[in-house]
C-alpha cells in the first residue's frame, strides 16, 4: 500500500477527498480500518490511470538532442548533418595543360632511354649465355651478326615500352589532373585535326608545318601554329596561280 501511495504522489496531483480519508484521525483499529478499505479502490483506480497515461504519452524527440551532457556541453548533432562533402578537384587551364604535357613527354623520353639501355644490356647478357644457340644455328647469317640483331631488337622493345611506363608514372604523381588531361587532350587533337592543312598539296619548297602539332608547348605556340597553317595555304594558292 505504501508503494501505491508513493506512485500516486509522484505521477499525479493528490486528490483532496482521498487525502482527507487517509489523514482523518482515528483512535482504534475499529474506526481506522473501514476508512482504509474504502480508500483502496480509489488508490487502485488512480495508479492504473497513471500507468496508462505513462504508456500512452509519446517521447519527446528533442530531449536527447538538446539536453547537455554531464560536462555541460550540448549533445552532438545528428549524423545526417555531418555528411562528408568531397573537396572539388583543381581546374586545369590550357597553359597548365601544355606544361604538364611537356613534363609528361620528358618523362616518357627518360623512360624510353632507360628501357633502351636495360633491355639492350639485358638481352645481350641473356644471349651471351647461349640460350639462343638453336635459333642462331637456323639463321643463314654470321652468328655475331644474328646475335647483334637480337640484341638490337631487345633494345628497340625497351625503347617502345618506355613511353607507356613513363605515362603511368606521370599519372601516378599527377592523378588529380588525369581525367582533365585526357579530356583536354582529346579536345586539343580535335582542334589540330580541324585546323591543319591538306598535306596532299605539300612540296619540298612548301612542307607541311607540324602536321600533328607535336611541337606545340603553350597557348602562344598554338597560335603560332595556326599562323603557320594559314601561311601554308597562302603559299599554296600563290604557287597555284
Which range (11-15, 46-50, 107-111) has the least confidence?
11-15
Q: Tens of pLDDT along 73-92?
A: 445 555 544 455 555 666 88
**94-106 as b/e, with b when 16 or more CB fall inside 10 Å?**
eeebbebbeebbe
Give the confidence band of 39 by pLDDT, cuts at 50, 70, 90. Answer: low
Average pLDDT, the chain: 76
Euclidean distance between CA atoms 130 and 16, whole angstroms? 116
Euclidean distance between CA atoms 219 and 101, whole angstroms? 12
Q: Tens of pLDDT along 157-209?
A: 999 999 999 999 999 999 999 999 999 999 999 999 999 998 887 888 788 88
Euclidean distance between CA atoms 165 and 104, whole angstroms? 11
State the chain's maximal CA–CA distance in angstroms.
Answer: 142
pLDDT score, position 67: 44
pLDDT score, position 70: 47
Amino acid at each position: 500500500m505504501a508503494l501505491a501511495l508513493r506512485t500516486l504522489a509522484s505521477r499525479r496531483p493528490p486528490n483532496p477527498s482521498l487525502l482527507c480519508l487517509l489523514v482523518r484521525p482515528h483512535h482504534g483499529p475499529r474506526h481506522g480500518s473501514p476508512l482504509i478499505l474504502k480508500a483502496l479502490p480509489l488508490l487502485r483506480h488512480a495508479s492504473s490511470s497513471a500507468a496508462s497515461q505513462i504508456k500512452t504519452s509519446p517521447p519527446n524527440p528533442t530531449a536527447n538532442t538538446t539536453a547537455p551532457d554531464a560536462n555541460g556541453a550540448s549533445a552532438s548533432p545528428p549524423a545526417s548533418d555531418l555528411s562528408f562533402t568531397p573537396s572539388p578537384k583543381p581546374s586545369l587551364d590550357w597553359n597548365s595543360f601544355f606544361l604538364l604535357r611537356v613534363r609528361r613527354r620528358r618523362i616518357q623520353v627518360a623512360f624510353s632511354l632507360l628501357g633502351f639501355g636495360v633491355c639492350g644490356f639485358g638481352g645481350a647478357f641473356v644471349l651471351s649465355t647461349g640460350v639462343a644457340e638453336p635459333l642462331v644455328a637456323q639463321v643463314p647469317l654470321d652468328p655475331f651478326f644474328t646475335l647483334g640483331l637480337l640484341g638490337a631488337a631487345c633494345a628497340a622493345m625497351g625503347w617502345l615500352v618506355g613511353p607507356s611506363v613513363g605515362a603511368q608514372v606521370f599519372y601516378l604523381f599527377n592523378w588529380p589532373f588525369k581525367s582533365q588531361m585526357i579530356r583536354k587532350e582529346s579536345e586539343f587533337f580535335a582542334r589540330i585535326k580541324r585546323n591543319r592543312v591538306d598535306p596532299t598539296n605539300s612540296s619540298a619548297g612548301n612542307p607541311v608545318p607540324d602536321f600533328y602539332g607535336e611541337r606545340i608547348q603553350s597557348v602562344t605556340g598554338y597560335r603560332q601554329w595556326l599562323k603557320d597553317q594559314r601561311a601554308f595555304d597562302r603559299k599554296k594558292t600563290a604557287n597555284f596561280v
